[in-house]
Amino acid sequence: MFMASRIQTRAFSASARNLSKVTVLGAAGGIGQPLSLLLKLNPRVTELALYDIRGAPGVAADVSHVNTKSNVKGYEPTPSGLASALKGAEVVLIPAGVPRKPGMTRDDLFNTNASIVRDLAKACAESAPEANILVISNPVNSTVPICAEVFKARGVYNPKRLFGVTTLDVVRASRFVSEIKKTDPVDEKITVVGGHSGVTIVPLFSQSSHPDLSSNADLVKRVQFGGDEVVKAKDGAGSATLSMAMAGARMAESLLRASQGEKNVVEPTFVDSPLYKDQGIDFFSSQVELGPNGVEKILPIGKVDAVEEKLIEACLTDLKANIQKGKAFVAENPGN
Ligand SMILES: NC(=O)c1ccc[n+]([C@@H]2O[C@H](COP(=O)([O-])OP(=O)(O)OC[C@H]3O[C@@H](n4cnc5c(N)ncnc54)[C@H](O)[C@@H]3O)[C@@H](O)[C@H]2O)c1
Ligand SMILES: O=C(O)C[C@H](O)C(=O)O
């Protein structure tokens, strides 16, 4: 990933001298550790701040020996440690929270992760109100609306700076297609829209170079339930961490490329979106052009076929309920 971007790094060498502090909240976890490593390898990151309720200084000491230019610091699990980790951050990635075990849905994580994300969002709103916030913690369909409500309550909500990380869904889709078609995944650009759980994940194969795949129900299901495949294989030891770290690092890299002046940087992400607002759905994942201010342009869904139309219909019902649940949680549990 970073090899490919090395050319771009040179092309933007002047702006790449910008200072880009990136903070990871949940840095000692299954995702947090490899994500921190990948961010340390990214030449666009000049300062890496690692925070967790346990173990961040140790992870930071380890990662800090990697011989790239950036400075790494691990922070103590105190309110002032959290505030210092966040201060001046351009990008904040949040993989804090519990992962699934076999038999659970992402929504089953809500009771634990909603308050974790709410409290971290409060800290972000106070110490890094202008940062790009990248929410990885599940259920993303609900945790992103939770963040939005917290920021709104503090009068600092900027819809262009809040992102649910759905990159892993397109990473999987391109890989799964390449397995079937015996192609290089780099060439398989698959659009995936909706949300990030089960039927809310909608791959749009009709828009790819293999439109026939939209009627491949097994493939559609594999993309929708790719996370379950990993949860089952890990057999109680958690969910996707390595592929997720790659996907999160890619999303952070894309935001930094866009903020440093690169044009036409497009990633799928779950954002405050006009696409289905008329149906009461405030957040939706689609292709989004990124820019120096975060969201530059939300691209239209484009033409879909009859199968995909039905998938989108099913997605919207669940997604609406997930978003509502996140909003209601903050209204009923505003916390301190
Ligand atoms: N968006 C996606 O595509 C995607 C993909 C994979 C996993 N996830 C989600 O990411 C989350 C993390 O997964 P994981 O495998 O890294 O879990 P993990 O348990 O290995 O790590 C979570 C880390 O969060 C830390 N943490 C808990 N509460 C915290 C708080 N208040 N402040 C800071 N840190 C805190 C824990 O100490 C732990 O180190 C889960 O909710 C999982 O479902 C999302
Ligand atoms: O499946 C999970 O619970 C983790 C993550 O959302 C994934 O898609 O791998």
- Which pLDDT tens digit goes with each residue over 136-154? 999 999 999 999 999 999 9
Among all residues, which ones are annotated catalytic?
Answer: 196
Report which of 215, 26, 225, 189 is spatially closest to residue 106, judged by C-alpha positions.
Answer: 225
- Residue 172 assigned as binding residue: yes
Closest protein CA for atom 2 of ligand 1: 136
Question: Which of 41, 19, 39 lies closest to 27, judged by CA?
Answer: 39
Cα separation, 84 vs 273, in Å, equals 31
52 is in an annotated binding site: yes
pLDDT digit string (tens) for 38-89? 999 999 999 999 999 999 999 999 999 999 999 999 999 999 999 999 999 9
The answer to whether 201 touches 192, Cβ cutoff 8 Å, is: yes
Checking 55-58 for CB contacts under 8 A at 24+ apart, the result is 55/28, 56/27, 56/28, 58/28
User: What whole-number distance in Å separates Cα of residue 44 and Cα of residue 17?
Assistant: 8
Ligand nearest to the CA of 105: 2
CB atoms within 10 A of CB 221: 13
Pocket of ligand 2 (CB under 6 A): 99-100, 106, 138, 168, 227, 230-231, 239-240
**Residue ranges in the chain modelled with pLDDT below 70:** 1-17
From 91, 125, 230, 224, select the one nearest 166 (Cα to Cα). 224
Which residue matches tokens 């992870």? 59
For 136, other C-beta atoms within 10 Å of its C-beta total: 31
Q: What are phi and psi of 26, to 5 degrees?
A: 105, 30
Nearest Cα residue to atom 2 of ligand 2: 227
Q: Is the ipTM of this complex over 0.90?
A: yes
> Please, what's the b/e burial string for 55-92 (b: 16 or more CB within 10 A of its CB; e: otherwise)?
bbbebbebbbeeeeebebbbbeeeeebbebbbeebbbb
* CA of residue 136 to ligand 1 center, whole Å: 8
Ligand 1, atom nearest to 96 Cα: 24
Q: Is 27 assigned a ligand-binding role in the annotation?
A: yes
Phi, psi of 189 (to 5 degrees): -95, 105
Query: Whose C-alpha lies nearest to ligand 1, atom 9?
Result: 137
Which pairing describes strands 192-194 and 201-203: parallel, antiparallel, or unpaired?
A: antiparallel
Q: Write the CA distances from 182 to 64, 185, 225, integer angstroms.
A: 39, 9, 22
Q: Look at residue 19 in the predicted model and tell me its pLDDT.
A: 86
Rg from Cα positions in the chain: 19
Tell whether residue 113 is among the known ligand binding residues.
Answer: yes
Task: Please confirm whether the linkage preceding 139 is cis (ω < 30° from 0).
Answer: yes
What is the number of the ligand 1 atom nearest to the C-alpha of 28? Answer: 39
Q: Whose CA is nearest to atom 8 of ligand 2?
A: 227
Predicted local distance difference test score (pLDDT) of residue 80: 98
- Joined together, the tokens standing for residue 36 give 């921190």
* Predicted pLDDT at 335: 81
C-alpha of residue 32 to centroid of ligand 1, in Å: 7
| Angle, CA 83 vertex, CA 48 and CA 332 arms, to 5° | 120
pLDDT at 63: 98
Report residue 290: phi and psi, to 5°. Answer: -100, 150
Residues within a 6 A CB radius of ligand 1: 25-26, 28-32, 51-54, 95-100, 109, 113, 116, 120, 136-138, 140, 165, 168, 196, 238-241, 244
Pairing of strands 294-298, 283-291: antiparallel
